[in-house]
Amino acid sequence: MELSEKYKKLQDDLLSLGGVCVAFSGGVDSTFLLYVAHQVLKERAIAVTAQSCSFPKRELDEAKGFCESHGITHFICRSEELDIEGFRQNPKNRCYLCKHELFEKIWEIAKQNGVNAVAEGSNMDDNGDYRPGLIAVKELGVKSPLREAELTKAEIRELSQELGLPTWNKQSFACLSSRFVYGETISEEKLSMVDRAEQLLLDLGFHQVRVRIHGMMARIEILPNEFEKLFNVREDVCRQFRSFGFTYVTLDLMGYRTGSMNETL
């Protein structure tokens, strides 16, 4: 399908729902999905954002700001992953445990507001990686309109730019728990270390960052064209990372890529 056809299908699919509750993280995909849903469904499109220690405050603030500026009804759902049985041990199905619990709560909010559909923002690019969370999506009857319209990440960015959305070139983000090696215990302390480390790199002007944690070692993933920039500030970065609690600081020479923790599966 042409991009214009995909966009029209997305609009038609959302309109056919009559109302939808969008799982809204404030990222590229869910922002685009929520915007289009609000355009076609008006007040029948509502948003729910999960608040937890694995979701940085900056992301929550951006999600709130977007909904306020567009007049979208927005609910904040407290969903603490670390309270889910087995989650702290970081099993390979960690994302399934989290998404299942989260979407159950989102469904409750949807029904309380007379909305009979819940949607999330996965796209066609998510089909190629290990995504146990999508199993929970299917089990709970959550819609994936962007995948149904066969939209890729690049196409979502292109359409977002045309629509004037501020997220069109926003860096990709995943919950901070995805920075841990499978089987390594996830704790509030280490989540905070990762959050502070990534915020430092973002403040220094790096566009796309991940700080993967291996024990007390940080493995930095950035775009290869920004390697030299990191070398120029490496002493300051190392000093501050160590103040956050890391013992060693390394750079992954493969550069940033999604799902690098899945490469061992």
pLDDT value at residue 264: 64
Q: Are residues 25 and 127 in the same domain?
A: yes
pLDDT value at residue 129: 64
pLDDT value at residue 258: 77
User: Does residue 15 lie within any of the structural domains?
Assistant: yes
Tally the C-alpha atoms within 13 A of residue 202's C-alpha that lie toward its C-beta. Answer: 17
Query: How far apart are alpha carbons 3 and 159 in whole angstroms?
Result: 9
CATH number at residue 228: 3.30.70
Instruction: Calculate ∠ Cα 227-233-236, nearest 5°.
Output: 135
Q: Are residues 99 and 190 in the same domain?
A: no
The share of the chain scoring above pLDDT 90, in percent, equals 80
Backbone angles phi, psi at 228, to 5 degrees: -60, -40
Q: What is the mean pLDDT of residues 174-187?
A: 92
Q: Are residues 211 and 251 in the same domain?
A: yes
Q: What is the mean pLDDT of residues 95-118?
A: 94
**Range(s) of the domain holding residue 50:** 3-162
User: Does residue 171 lie within any of the structural domains?
Assistant: no
User: Does residue 209 lie within any of the structural domains?
Assistant: yes
Q: What is the mean pLDDT of residues 202-208?
A: 95
Q: What is the mean pLDDT of residues 169-191?
A: 92
The share of the chain scoring above pLDDT 70, in percent, equals 97
Q: 201 pLDDT exceeds 70? A: yes
pLDDT value at residue 131: 78
Query: How far apart are alpha carbons 197 and 246 in whole angstroms?
Result: 9
Q: Are residues 147 and 193 in the same domain?
A: no
Q: 229 pLDDT exceeds 90? A: yes
Integer-rounded Cα radius of gyration of the chain? 19
Q: 7 pLDDT exceeds 80? A: yes
User: Does residue 168 lie within any of the structural domains?
Assistant: no
Q: Are residues 53 and 128 in the same domain?
A: yes
Q: Are residues 65 and 155 in the same domain?
A: yes
Q: 263 pLDDT exceeds 90? A: no
User: Does residue 188 lie within any of the structural domains?
Assistant: yes
Q: 159 pLDDT exceeds 60? A: yes
Q: Give the range among 59-68, 88-97, 108-117 with minimum mean pLDDT.
A: 88-97
Identify which has the larger pLDDT, 80 or 3: 3
- Most confident of the ranges 51-60, 109-118, 168-177, 252-261: 109-118
Of 110, 130, 162, which closes a domain? Answer: 162
Q: Count the Cβ atoms, other than its own, within 10 Å of residue 192.
A: 14
Q: 265 pLDDT exceeds 70? A: no
The count of domains in the chain is 2
Nearest Cα to Cα of residue 32 among 61, 2, 6: 6
Q: Are residues 21 and 51 in the same domain?
A: yes
